[in-house]
Structure 1
Amino acid sequence: MSIEVTFQLSDADLEHFRHLMTTAIANAAKLPEATIKQKAAQAIAEMSSDGVPEFVTSRVASLEALLVMLDDDTWKLPEEERQEVLTSLAYFSEPEDLVPDHIPVLGYLDDAIMIELVVQDLSANIEAYKEFCEFREKEMARRGVEISTEDWLASKRMEMHTRMRKRRSERRGGRIFSRVF
């Protein structure tokens, strides 16, 4: 039998967690990128292991996507966004958690909250990257060639233009107007 426990963090509560993130970022600024990525990967592996509560493991995929996007040469994450992702992963390179992980179940509560904050802050990046990966996989299987971000963006542009034409047509009741000059 499982139970559901729901709680809401106030702005003051969130400010406390953001302060912890800011402290972690300041500490991580001294670390090389490789170290942050390695420690974040270790934290992800630990949070994916048996015995970790589902409320944590269900959030780890988004954190993992951030780590993977950093090393995806095809994605070519702009430097400013790359730094945002790295600083967001900084908390997970901190050896000391707010709640020590060895405390059964509750030890990962702070990690789940931090993942949630990171995902909120970087949700657009995560969504775009996941969408790009799905497009790349589908197109590589279909065409058998490498797919670039430019290919994906061209596809997105075509989708947008198709939607615009469809909306325009719907507004006109399906009538097509032609200009006579």
Structure 2
Amino acid sequence: MSLAITIELGDADLQHFIDAMQRSQQEAKNLSAQQVTDAAARLLADGHANKLPQFIAERLQKLDSMIAMVHDEGFAMPDEDRQRVLACLTYFANPQDIIPDSVPVLGFLDDAIMIELCVKELQHEIEAYEDFVAYRKQEAAAHGVDPASLKTQRVEWAEARRLELIDRMRKRRGQSYQSSGGWRPVLFSFRG
């Protein structure tokens, strides 16, 4: 037997998550980018080690792209954009999250909700990175190169596409700010 539950979170509900993110960012201000992404990777590994509801497991998988884009030297995300991604990942560096992960079935629910908020905040960054990874994989095959080796270096044949995608990412982010009335508060900020 399975049970379907729909949860709708209003502004007041979401404020709890925004407050938790801001507390996490304050506590993570002395952490390096590596420490933040290592903590997010541990959450991902912990999720794999537990039998999680499908809803939560699907959201945890979205962490992979966020973690990878921070360290992918081939993509070489500009620092300002990289800081936006790290800001979203700081929640996962705080062991004192809203619902302790040790709670059976629901322990990762807050993480899944926070991932959804991060994915929404980073929609254009994630799309640009995933497009770049797909392009790099396709072109690496055409050049007879292992795509995994290109995560630690930039290559000339991918540079134009990388710059194009970063430009597209920033334009789309600017357009979504404009379409929402010209100003949209940044939910997450990180200075590491």
Report if TM-score (shorter chain) is over 0.5: yes
Take 2:57 and 2:164, find their aligned partners in 1: how far apart are those partners? 35
Residues 135 and 152, structure 1, Cα contact 8 Å, conserved in 2: no
Deviation at 1:69, TM superposition (A): 0.8
Of structures 1 and 2, the one scoring higher in RCO (CA 8 A, sep 6+) is 2
* Structure of greater Rg: 1
Q: Secondary structure at the residue paired with 2:102?
A: coil
Take 1:39 and 1:101, find their aligned partners in 2: how far apart are those partners? 13
Partner of 1:47: 47
- Count the aligned residue pairs: 157
Show structure 1 runs of 5+ residues with no match. Answer: 158-181
* 2:100 paired with 1:100: yes
* 2:178 paired with 1:151: no
Take 2:88 and 2:144, find their aligned partners in 1: how far apart are those partners? 35
* 2:147 paired with 1:137: no
The letter for the 2-side match of 1:136 is R
Deviation at 1:153, TM superposition (A): 5.2
Partner of 1:27: 27
The letter for the 2-side match of 1:41 is A
Deviation at 1:49, TM superposition (A): 2.5
Show structure 2 runs of 5+ residues with no match. Answer: 146-154, 168-192
Deviation at 1:40, TM superposition (A): 1.3
* 2:56 paired with 1:56: yes
Return 36-45 or 113-122, whichever deviates more.
36-45
Residues 21 and 91, structure 1, Cα contact 8 Å, conserved in 2: yes
Partner of 1:65: 65
Take 2:48 and 2:140, find their aligned partners in 1: how far apart are those partners? 29
Take 2:164 and 2:25, find their aligned partners in 1: how far apart are those partners? 36
Matches within 5 A, 1:159-178: none
Take 1:42 and 1:119, find their aligned partners in 2: how far apart are those partners? 19
Partner of 2:116: 116
Take 1:99 and 1:154, find their aligned partners in 2: how far apart are those partners? 40
Over 3 Å counting, the alpha-carbon distance change for 1:103 and 1:120 in structure 2 is: same
Take 2:94 and 2:124, find their aligned partners in 1: how far apart are those partners? 25
Take 2:113 and 2:83, find their aligned partners in 1: how far apart are those partners? 21
The letter for the 2-side match of 1:148 is A
Deviating beyond 4 angstroms after TM superposition, the runs of 4 or more aligned structure 1 residues are 152-155
Residues 101 and 107, structure 1, Cα contact 8 Å, conserved in 2: yes
Deviation at 1:114, TM superposition (A): 0.6
Deviations 1:57-77 (A, max 9, x none): 101222111111111111010
Deviations 1:135-180 (A, max 9, x none): 110111123365424135569x9xxxxxxxxxxxxxxxxxxxxxxx
TM-score by structure 1 length?
0.79
